[in-house]
Amino acid sequence: MLLKKRGVPQMKKAVYSLVLSEDVVEAVDRMAYAQGTSRSNLINQLLAEAVGYVTPERRMADILQTLSQQMTGLFQLQEQAAEGMLTIRSPLRYRYKPTIRYRVELYRKPEHALGILHASFRTQNKALIADSEAFFRTWANAEMQKGYCKDSDFSIADGAWKRLFHIPAKPDVTAEELGAAIGQYIKRVDAALKAYFAALPDRGKAEQAVAQFFTA
């Protein structure tokens, strides 16, 4: 569902003059401060909800809310560093007990991609970096062989992997469906990663373990 590309109409913004009571503005400012946003953004969101329009910010929040619900209890969730982002941590049975970090970053104005997934270990351990890059290459090659992605859809460097999430071809896909699809993808990657490392140091068996995730 996250692979085909399609265009997305963009919401333009303009400056308008509105006459509001001071009490309303004060209430809006308090709410905006509590939510960590600006007065303009909050008013825009409130008006959009009142007329039944889904803003990019609301859509991103709904996607990440569904994703968070899927990950809760299975992964460690970190507080969002910025709007449209969610970081997920998963421990790995390996020397020094490293933790892999998955960071989902959604694009506010998606054109060819809905967002991007970053995956990396915070480590200087050369062996772990080499093994993680080998896994990412194995996974990416398997995806390309299945036609799930192209070479330009991912990058691997310094022990980190980035993977684009394409805009689905289905025009009426919901934010909940997108959040669920991203969650299932991350679970699958994480399970394959752990199966790969469990088979090391036998590289052949490790690659076979990943291949099992792509069998029909």
Q: Where are the beta strands (DSSP E) in the chain?
A: 76-78, 85-91, 99-106, 113-121, 154-157, 160-166
Q: Decide if pLDDT at 192 tops 60.
A: yes
Phi first, then psi, for residue 132 (nearest 5°) are -70, -40
3-state secondary structure of 181: helix
Domains of the chain by start residue, with CATH: 56-214 (3.30.1460)
Q: Decide if pLDDT at 190 tops 50.
A: yes
120-169: per-residue pLDDT in tens? 998 888 999 999 999 999 999 999 999 888 888 999 998 899 999 988 77
Alpha-carbon separation of residue 123 from 49, 71, 107, 146 (angstroms): 44, 24, 28, 31
What does the pLDDT read at residue 39? 84
Taken in order 110, 68, 170, 146, is the CA torsion positive or negative? positive
Tokens 């600006």 belong to: 38
- Residue 146, Cα to own-chain centre: how many angstroms? 21
Q: Are 166 and 112 in contact (CB under 8 A)?
A: yes
63-93: per-residue pLDDT in tens? 999 999 999 888 999 877 678 899 999 999 8
- What is the chain's mean pLDDT, rounded? 85
Q: Decide if pLDDT at 186 tops 50.
A: yes
Average confidence (pLDDT) over 178-202: 96
Q: Decide if pLDDT at 209 tops 60.
A: yes
Rounded-to-integer distance, Cα 173 and Cα 155, Å: 27
45-63: per-residue pLDDT in tens? 777 667 766 677 888 889 9
